[in-house]
């Protein structure tokens, strides 16, 4: 039996595909290549090109490949852009998740790992985020991910008395960085690591947005977690679901301590060997001083751990990006 990875040609999804294969689980990829890359799909892995909005395509892929569960990574992931494109965001993330769940019901598939986001919390006024914190998403993207979690919850309740009820979990995380395979790198134009890498490759100076935050060095602090660790947690969650082991409805995949933007910039200079002093720009509206999650529940159940230093995060991401040159 196999596991279907929606968005499996994207940065995170392609790492999940590799982690499944390394664990002896056969992956199947569905991706419309709107932001993914066919070259990210390993040779020999079945690749179905198409949209998660196409229920018949999903049902066919699940039946053809004897799918046991779904790791649902596909989605429109740009929180800032979602403010300008709310209808597109809801179509891809809410309707897309609904269609995935409907296709699973039609194909008799009962396990799903949902790639959610710490954006469901919005801008909390506490420095350390736990799973029971009130959900106050601050963008259509965060709202769409929270609604996705509700869809899983409600379908689980609706099927609770079925012989095979829906089993599900949602994984919430902030900033995914680095690379666990030199072929796969982050191509997002909105994420810090690729923004800095492209600036350095172009001989330009990266910018820090604000240096007057209430933090140790004045720049805001976030969770930066390595994509290899993220992918591994998805696989353990899938294994737990398939085995019938107890599992929480949601987990934070957090670092507990976080890293500041200045710490990231310092590591960029160290690792790349490019000496630079970042420009200081204005704050972005709504950016809180610090948001970091604990990850304690995930450590207990999903073997979650931060196995990479900040320099290793930068090095693996930089090497993968340079390989693409």
State the DSSP string of 212-244.
-SSSSSSS-EE-EEEHHHHHHHHHHHHHHHHHT
Rounded Cα gap, residues 104 and 30, in angstroms: 14
Q: Point out the catalytic residue in the list 78, 90, 121, 141.
A: 141
Closest by Cα among 102, 96, 115, 26 to 68? 26
CA atoms within 13 A on the CB side of 166: 25
∠ CA 247-294-134 to the nearest 5 degrees?
Answer: 80
Contact 289, 150 (CB under 8 A): no
Contact 227, 187 (CB under 8 A): no
The SS3 call for residue 6 is strand
Both tokens assigned to 76: 């429109």
The SS3 call for residue 82 is helix
3-state secondary structure 127-150: CEECCCCCCCCCCHHHHHHHHHHH
Contact 181, 320 (CB under 8 A): yes
141 is catalytic: yes
Which residues have a catalytic role annotated? Answer: 141
């Amino acid at each position: 039996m196999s596991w279907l990875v929606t968005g499996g040609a994207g940065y995170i999804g392609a790492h999940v595909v590799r982690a499944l294969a390394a664990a002896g689980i056969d992956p199947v990829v569905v991706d419309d290549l709107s932001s993914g890359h066919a070259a990210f799909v390993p040779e020999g892995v079945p690749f179905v090109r198409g949209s998660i909005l196409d229920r018949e395509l999903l049902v066919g892929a699940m039946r053809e490949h004897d799918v046991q569960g779904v790791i649902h990574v596909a989605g429109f992931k740009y929180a800032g852009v979602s403010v300008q494109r709310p209808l597109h965001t809801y179509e891809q993330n809410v309707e897309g998740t609904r269609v995935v769940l409907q296709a699973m019901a039609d194909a008799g598939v009962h396990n799903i790992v949902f790639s959610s986001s710490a954006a469901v919390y919005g801008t909390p006024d506490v420095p350390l985020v736990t799973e029971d914190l009130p959900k106050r998403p601050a963008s259509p993207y965060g709202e769409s991910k929270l609604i996705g979690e509700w869809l899983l919850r409600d379908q689980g309740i609706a099927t609770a008395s079925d012989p095979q009820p829906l089993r599900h979990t949602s994984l919430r995380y902030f900033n995914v960085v680095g690379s666990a395979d030199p072929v796969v790198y982050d191509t997002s134009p909105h994420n810090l690591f690729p923004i800095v890498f492209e600036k350095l490759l172009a001989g330009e100076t990266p910018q820090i947005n604000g240096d007057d935050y209430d933090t140790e060095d004045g720049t805001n602090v976030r969770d930066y977690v390595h994509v290899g660790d993220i992918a591994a947690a998805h696989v353990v969650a899938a294994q737990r679901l398939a085995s019938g082991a107890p599992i929480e409805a949601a987990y934070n995949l957090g670092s507990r301590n976080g890293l500041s933007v200045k710490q990231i910039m310092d590591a960029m200079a160290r690792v790349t060997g490019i000496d630079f002093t970042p420009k200081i720009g204005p704050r972005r509206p709504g950016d809180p001083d610090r948001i970091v999650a604990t990850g304690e529940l995930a450590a207990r159940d999903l073997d979650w751990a931060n196995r990479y230093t900040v320099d290793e995060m930068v090095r693996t991401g930089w090497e993968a990006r340079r390989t693409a040159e």
